[in-house]
């Protein structure tokens, strides 16, 4: 074998090698072009079941949606559900590529909507989640009760001294959370001329831990926060009034000087999944619940430390009348 | 030899004891250290002697210049930040590059015919391993692991192995553990192949070596978070991007050790084989590679360890497995659940490392005569022994399946979450504030921030940029040669050019403060541990856990203790960097010539004198290496600091990934690389320049 190789002219040998390599690659990967819009997880459907992949974002509300949807998909419709934890913007990207089939709670990403829903049409709207989200600045209620005027942004500067921390460079501290969240806070502080420094906690976990720590000592604090959120049940917080939100007032990120809007949270599905996802896709389109229902599940996960599956199971057992219509 | 997941490898240690330790002890990025510890110490010993002398000659004028310049700097206030004219804004081109990828990913031939196939091949490979592991069931996997460990290292490791896998099951983490294992198997295999190829090139051609060295350095210092985003853009979230990101990080140690092994091949043997008329390829295959096999194996071991350290980080882009569990637990602020997923990672690291270590030692050891071996060992020896091992494992797997327990039974799990969470709650309730005399951890954090971090940061940010460049140059000359000084200055200047001067100095101040604390604590602990073998034994598992436990697990406890800000970021960095410093220092102190110590003692030196005047000076190389490692490791945790309020570059990198902002993430990542180069050059021991 080796001898024949050596006797062959060099060019033929190299040609043969290239051909062999090409054939090998083609056989290995199943000829032709690879479809980057159809990418599955290697862990999916290991037991040969129909699989749905849902994305989960880092906040507990998103976990609650996914937990209940997964539970019903698995126990009522016989699917296997894979969940992938990923930040919002990468999640959109994953949705367009078919790595995940659905996002259940989106807080509004106009740029991504334009690109994927209207432009490439790889993502389809899945309707309202039923929950309305709102971002704002919050102080703990015990502080707001002691100083009622703190709940207007115009009076915030009076309290800057009390809200100082080692990180706030001598000003008051406005605590922001995860870098993946939508925020205009730096511009707001500047444009409203407030004596505050935005301190980024860097992750929601860090922010919650810090809020709980402040609350335990009944210390005042000012934080970026959002509803619906289970933490309100543990640490009651009161919103600080910012200049009213008007259509388009937040369009220029440099000049923004108004509150955050109230956003009906949206579901989005991968287009191919939406069209041929069968019962699972229909179910996810119909999935719609209220803020209170979501919080009920969130609290079980975050405070009672139930696993998302256990929390979903409990809720599903108690609320048959809510979820039955989603399945028809 | 050792009961740690980061052993010292006597065989490598005999030649370059301390550097080998350094390579080992840095579970995550052994970053630049390997590049010039072992290899440089060996292949270029002479240059170092010339270097510092040349450096010292520059030092006097440099010092004079500094003395003259500092008043000048004071006379020009406001010269603090980097001049805007000298900065380049990369956000435009990088943003366009990101958009181009997204718009062409589904149609461009580059993706359809290349990246797409790479991505599919990774998925197919991971899936194959995963399905195999699931098919083997927990009985089969545990049996195979234990049998392999037993063949390589004996009954103790076999039991450890079985216990470790059982623990993964007990914690309710069997399936995620298998997912991580499958991903690791593919990533490590790819790293080993790629690393070996690169190492082959670098080992055989000095030119390739020179070209590859900076590439390998960058691959290791660039924070993984920074290249996760390009990976995600090209491959999409999920396993392919995670595997390839892991390969980027885990291949360099393999490449370095392969090159080292090839270059070190005994000249006499090579001469002999050449004189026997062997061709280049024959020499490579029959002499050089076999001679380098210990380094190759050490490289495999390193690829495994560095690969595992990426398991959690890769979960940020949807890799699944244990990392994903850790990450999801963070969302509900559940330390117990995070720990339950973090422990299997530690256990996998311990087991894999020790098995690879045992395999390495077997290569060096004389085979025990067959007659003296235990009967069972004789049965399992040789190639039929290997076959028998596999057959036994298959038999156990089949038995397990027939008994209907292929998935770990759910009733056999223990919940760690409650006790851990109550422990954390107790800790934060009682230590956060109001502790008599010493004050609570919150007070410490405030003091550390106010007294150390703030002055350092404002000092650095207020200093004129050219003064800092000069300072970097002077420090690098003090430690190395004009070449290292040039690198240091260029690295610092690059930070300014990239337009992240202020943020970089903020990060630099945090790194310096954390390194200082790490060194003080590390040296103190090491002096204690070097004196008492018992203390060292007790310390060892603690150090192991600190080194291999994913940092995500202790994010919440550090915030709960120190509040949001730069102080918890420093705490996380110290926890991570301390073990390497302690280990290197202990080893350095231990290796001080016992005869010298004995003679000093006989001359009546007290213990303190002995330490100060004999042991510490003699252990100087090890201490310098410890400093270098502390810098490198602290820098590796800057990103984690970004997640707890450290701000600056760490936050920018995380922001880049979270918002899909290629420019912010990559620029901040590049700045971290530059800081790494700068700090490495100014702390690197002179003789290794």
Minimum-distance CB partner of A42 among B102, B127, B316: B127
- Whole-angstrom CA distances from B466 to B68, B459, B462, B599 are 13, 14, 12, 50
Asked if residue A107 lies in contact with residue A133, where contact means CB atoms within 8 angstroms, the answer is yes
Structure letter (DSSP) for residue A153:
G
Strand partners, A199: A175
Shortest Cα distance, chain A CAs vs residue B105, angstroms: 7
In chain B, what are the domain boundaries?
99-424, 431-461+468-683
Write the pLDDT tens digit of every residue in B342-385.
899 889 888 888 888 787 777 666 555 555 566 666 666 667 77
**pLDDT band of B57, cuts 50, 70, 90:** low
Min mean pLDDT across A112-116, B8-12, B280-284, B335-339 is at B8-12
Question: Region B415-440: what's the mean pLDDT?
Answer: 79
Give the residue carrying structure tokens 């090839």.
B262
Interface test with B, best of A45, A53, A60, A85 (most B CBs within 10 A): A85
Interface test with A, best of B564, B572, B658, B659 (most A CBs within 10 A): B564
Shortest Cα distance, chain B CAs vs residue A155, angstroms: 25
Q: Are B130 and A43 inside 8 Å of each other by CB?
A: yes
Cβ count within 10 A of residue B433:
18
Residues of A in contact with B130 (CB under 8 A): 42-43, 46
Q: How far, in whole angstroms, is CA B237 from its chain's centroid?
A: 24
Tokens of B615: 């042991």
Q: Are A200 and B647 inside 8 Å of each other by CB?
A: yes
Write the pLDDT tens digit of every residue in B545-599.
887 888 888 888 888 888 888 988 999 999 988 988 898 888 888 877 778 888 8
Alpha-carbon distance B667 to B500, whole Å? Answer: 8
pLDDT: which is higher, B291 or A125: A125
Q: Is the pLDDT of residue B1 over 90?
A: no
Residues of A in contact with B330 (CB under 8 A): 58, 203, 205
**pLDDT band of A108, cuts 50, 70, 90:** confident
Question: Region B100-127: what's the mean pLDDT?
Answer: 82
Q: Is the pLDDT of residue A260 over 80?
A: yes
Structure letter (DSSP) for residue A154:
G
Q: Are B106 and A120 inside 8 Å of each other by CB?
A: yes
Q: Are B333 and A208 inside 8 Å of each other by CB?
A: yes
pLDDT: which is higher, A189 or B16: A189
Asked if residue B23 lies in contact with residue B665, where contact means CB atoms within 8 angstroms, the answer is no
* Residue B616: closest CA among B629, B634, B600, B632: B600
Nearest CA in chain A to B176: A43
Instruction: Confirm whether B99-424 and B431-461+468-683 share one CATH topology.
Output: yes
- Whole-angstrom CA distances from A9 to A12, A14, A22, B251 are 6, 9, 20, 37
Asked if residue B9 lies in contact with residue B2, where contact means CB atoms within 8 angstroms, the answer is no
Structure letter (DSSP) for residue B453:
I
Q: Are B117 and A34 inside 8 Å of each other by CB?
A: yes
Q: Is the pLDDT of residue B457 over 60?
A: yes
Q: Are A90 and B564 inside 8 Å of each other by CB?
A: no
**pLDDT band of A1, cuts 50, 70, 90:** very low
Q: Is the pLDDT of residue A34 over 60?
A: yes
Q: Are B127 and A43 inside 8 Å of each other by CB?
A: yes
Alpha-carbon distance B238 to A326, whole Å? Answer: 29
Residues of B in contact with A56 (CB under 8 A): 328, 331
Cβ count within 10 A of residue B69:
15
Min mean pLDDT across A93-97, B224-228, B325-329, B371-375 is at B371-375
Q: Dihedral sign, CA of B335, B337, B338, B340?
A: positive
Shortest Cα distance, chain A CAs vs residue B648, angstroms: 10
Mean of all residue pLDDT scores within chain B: 78
Alpha-carbon distance A222 to A196, whole Å? Answer: 10
Minimum-distance CB partner of B332 among A89, A175, A302: A302
CB half-sphere exposure, A110, CA atoms < 13 A: 5
Tokens of A49: 């079941």
Nearest CA in chain B to A182: B659
* Residue B264: closest CA among B296, B241, B222, B217: B296
The answer to whether the complex's ipTM is over 0.90 is no
CB environment A253-271: b (16+ within 10 A), e (fewer)? eeebbbbbbebebbbbbbb
pLDDT of residue A316: 94
Shortest Cα distance, chain A CAs vs residue B258, angstroms: 26
Structure letter (DSSP) for residue A101:
S
**Under DSSP, is residue B277 helix (H, G, I), strand (E, B) or coil?**
coil
Interface test with A, best of B450, B645, B654 (most A CBs within 10 A): B645
* Residue A313: closest CA among A303, A326, A323, A325: A323
Residues of A in contact with B648 (CB under 8 A): none
Nearest CA in chain A to B231: A90
Structure letter (DSSP) for residue A241:
B
Min mean pLDDT across A302-311, B26-35, B482-491 is at B26-35
Residues of B in contact with A25 (CB under 8 A): 117
* Residue B152: closest CA among B352, B370, B10: B352
Write the pLDDT tens digit of every residue in A221-241.
999 999 888 888 889 999 999
Alpha-carbon distance B441 to B562, whole Å? Answer: 6
Minimum-distance CB partner of B236 among A25, A39, A56: A39
Question: Region B125-146: what's the mean pLDDT?
Answer: 87
Q: Are A58 and B432 inside 8 Å of each other by CB?
A: no
What proportion of chain B, given as a percentage, has pLDDT over 90?
8
Asked if residue A224 lies in contact with residue A137, where contact means CB atoms within 8 angstroms, the answer is yes
**pLDDT band of B240, cuts 50, 70, 90:** confident
**Under DSSP, is residue A192 helix (H, G, I), strand (E, B) or coil?**
coil
Determine whether domain B99-424 maps to CATH 1.10.3720.10: yes
Alpha-carbon distance B623 to B675, whole Å? Answer: 21
Shortest Cα distance, chain B CAs vs residue A325, angstroms: 29
* Residue B130: closest CA among B74, B181, B92: B181
Q: Are A305 and B647 inside 8 Å of each other by CB?
A: no
Structure letter (DSSP) for residue A39:
-
Residues of A in contact with B233 (CB under 8 A): 93
Write the pLDDT tens digit of every residue in B532-545.
888 888 888 888 88
Q: What class has domain B431-461+468-683? A: mainly alpha
For helices B533-548 and B335-364, the axis angle rounded to 10 degrees is: 120
How many H-runs (helices) and E-runs (strands) does chain B carry?
37, 0
* Residue B661: closest CA among B98, B105, B227, B228: B98
Burial of B359 (0-12, 13-18, 19+ CB in 10 A): middle
Alpha-carbon distance B232 to B621, whole Å? Answer: 42
Asked if residue A244 lies in contact with residue A258, where contact means CB atoms within 8 angstroms, the answer is yes
* Residue A126: closest CA among A292, A294, A264: A264
Q: Which long-range contacts (C-beta less than 8 Å, at least 24 apart) are formed by B69-75?
A: B69/B467, B69/B470, B70/B467, B73/B463, B73/B464, B73/B467
**C-alpha R_g of chain A:** 26
Q: Are A90 and B657 inside 8 Å of each other by CB?
A: yes
Nearest CA in chain A to B558: A206
């Amino acid at each position: 074998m080796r001898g024949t190789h050596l006797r062959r002219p060099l060019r033929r040998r190299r040609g043969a090698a290239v051909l062999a390599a090409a054939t090998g690659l083609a056989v290995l990967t199943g000829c032709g072009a690879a479809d980057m819009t159809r990418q599955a997880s290697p862990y999916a459907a290991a037991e040969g079941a129909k699989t749905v992949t849902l994305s989960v974002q880092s906040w507990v509300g998103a976990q609650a949606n996914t937990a209940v949807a997964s539970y019903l998909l698995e126990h009522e419709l016989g699917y296997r559900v894979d969940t992938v934890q990923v930040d919002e913007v990468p999640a959109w990207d994953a949705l367009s590529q078919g790595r995940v089939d659905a996002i259940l709670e989106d807080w509004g990403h106009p740029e991504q909507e334009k690109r994927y829903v209207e432009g490439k049409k790889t993502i389809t709207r899945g309707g309202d989640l039923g929950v309305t989200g709102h971002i704002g600045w919050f102080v703990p209620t015990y502080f707001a009760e002691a100083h009622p005027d703190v709940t207007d942004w115009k009076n915030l500067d009076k309290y800057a001294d009390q809200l100082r921390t080692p990180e706030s460079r001598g000003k008051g501290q406005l605590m922001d959370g995860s870098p993946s969240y939508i925020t205009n806070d730096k511009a707001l502080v500047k444009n409203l001329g407030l004596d505050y420094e935005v301190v980024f906690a860097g992750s929601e976990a860090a922010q919650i831990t810090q809020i709980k720590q402040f609350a335990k000592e009944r210390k005042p604090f000012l934080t970026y926060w959002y509803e619906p959120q289970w933490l309100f049940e543990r640490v009651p917080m009161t919103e600080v009034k910012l200049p009213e939100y008007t259509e388009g007032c937040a369009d220029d990120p440099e000049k923004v000087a108004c509150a955050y809007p109230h956003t009906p949270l949206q579901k989005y599905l991968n287009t191919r999944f939406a069209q041929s996802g069968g019962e699972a896709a229909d179910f996810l389109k119909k999935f719609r619940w209220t803020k209170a229902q979501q919080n009920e599940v969130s609290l079980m996960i975050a405070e009672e430390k139930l696993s998302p599956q256990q929390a979903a199971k409990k809720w599903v057992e108690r609320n048959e009348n809510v979820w039955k219509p989603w399945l028809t | 030899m050792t009961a740690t997941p980061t052993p010292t490898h006597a065989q490598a240690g005999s030649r370059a004891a301390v550097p080998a330790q350094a390579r080992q002890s840095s579970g995550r990025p052994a970053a630049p250290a390997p590049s010039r510890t072992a290899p440089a110490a060996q292949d270029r010993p002479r240059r170092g002697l010339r270097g510092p002398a040349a450096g010292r000659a520059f030092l006097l004028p440099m010092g004079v210049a500094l003395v003259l310049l500092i008043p000048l700097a004071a006379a020009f206030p406001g010269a603090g930040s980097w001049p805007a004219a000298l900065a380049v804004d990369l956000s435009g081109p990088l943003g366009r590059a990101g958009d181009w990828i997204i718009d062409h990913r589904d149609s461009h031939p580059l993706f359809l015919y290349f990246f797409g196939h790479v991505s599919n091949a990774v998925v197919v490979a991971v899936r194959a391993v995963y399905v195999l592991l699931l098919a083997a069931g927990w009985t089969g996997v545990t049996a195979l692991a234990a049998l392999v460990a037993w063949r390589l290292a004996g009954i103790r490791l076999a039991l450890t192995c079985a216990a470790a896998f059982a623990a993964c099951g007990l914690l309710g983490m069997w399936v995620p553990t298998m997912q991580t294992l499958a991903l690791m198997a593919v990533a490590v295999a790819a790293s080993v192949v790629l690393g070996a190829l690169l190492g082959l090139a670098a080992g055989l051609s000095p030119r390739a070596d020179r070209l590859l060295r900076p590439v390998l350095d960058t691959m290791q210092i660039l924070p993984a978070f920074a290249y996760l985003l390009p990976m995600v853009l090209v491959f999409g979230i999920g396993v392919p991007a995670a595997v390839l990101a892991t390969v980027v990080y885990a291949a360099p140690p393999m490449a370095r050790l392969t090159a080292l092994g090839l270059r070190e091949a005994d000249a006499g043997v090579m001469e002999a084989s050449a004189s026997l008329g062997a061709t280049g390829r024959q020499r490579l295959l029959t002499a050089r590679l076999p001679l380098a096999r210990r380094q190759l194996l050490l490289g495999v071991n390193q690829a495994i360890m560095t690969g595992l350290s990426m398991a959690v980080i890769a979960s940020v882009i949807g890799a699944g497995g244990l990392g994903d569990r850790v990450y999801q637990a963070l969302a509900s602020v559940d330390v117990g659940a995070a720990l339950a997923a973090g422990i299997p990672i530690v256990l996998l690291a311990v087991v894999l490392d020790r098995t690879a270590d045992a395999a390495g030692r077997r290569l060096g050891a004389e085979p025990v005569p067959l007659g003296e071996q235990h009967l069972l060992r004789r049965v399992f020896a040789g190639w039929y022994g290997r076959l028998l091992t596999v057959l036994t494992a298959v038999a156990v797997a089949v038995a397990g399946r027939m008994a209907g327990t292929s998935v770990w039974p759910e009733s056999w799990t223990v919940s760690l979450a409650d006790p851990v969470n109550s422990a954390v709650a107790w800790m934060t309730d009682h230590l956060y504030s109001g502790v008599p005399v010493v004050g609570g951890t919150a007070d410490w954090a405030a003091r550390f921030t106010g007294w150390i971090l703030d002055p350092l940061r404002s000092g650095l940010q207020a200093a004129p940029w050219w003064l800092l460049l000069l300072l970097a140059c002077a420090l690098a000359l003090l430690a190395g040669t004009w070449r290292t000084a040039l690198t240091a200055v260029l690295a610092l200047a690059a930070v300014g050019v990239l337009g992240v001067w202020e943020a970089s100095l903020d990060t630099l101040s945090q790194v310096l403060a954390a390194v200082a604390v790490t060194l003080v604590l590390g040296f103190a602990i090491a002096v204690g541990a070097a004196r008492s073998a018992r203390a060292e034994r007790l310390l060892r598992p603690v150090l192991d856990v600190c080194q291999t436990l994913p940092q995500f697990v202790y994010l919440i406890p550090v915030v709960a203790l120190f509040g949001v800000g730069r102080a918890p970021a420093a705490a996380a960095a110290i926890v991570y960097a301390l073990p390497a410093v302690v280990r290197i220092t202990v080893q350095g102190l231990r290796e001080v010539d016992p005869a010298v110590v004995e003679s000093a003692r006989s001359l009546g030196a007290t213990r303190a004198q002995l330490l100060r005047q004999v042991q510490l000076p003699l252990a100087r190389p090890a201490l310098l290496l410890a400093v270098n490692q502390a810098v490198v490791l602290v820098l590796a945790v800057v990103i984690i600091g970004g997640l707890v309020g450290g701000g600056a570059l760490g936050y920018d990198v995380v922001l880049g990934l979270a918002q899909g902002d290629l420019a912010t993430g990559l620029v901040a990542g590049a700045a971290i690389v530059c800081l790494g180069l700068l700090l490495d050059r100014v702390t690197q021991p002179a003789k290794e320049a």
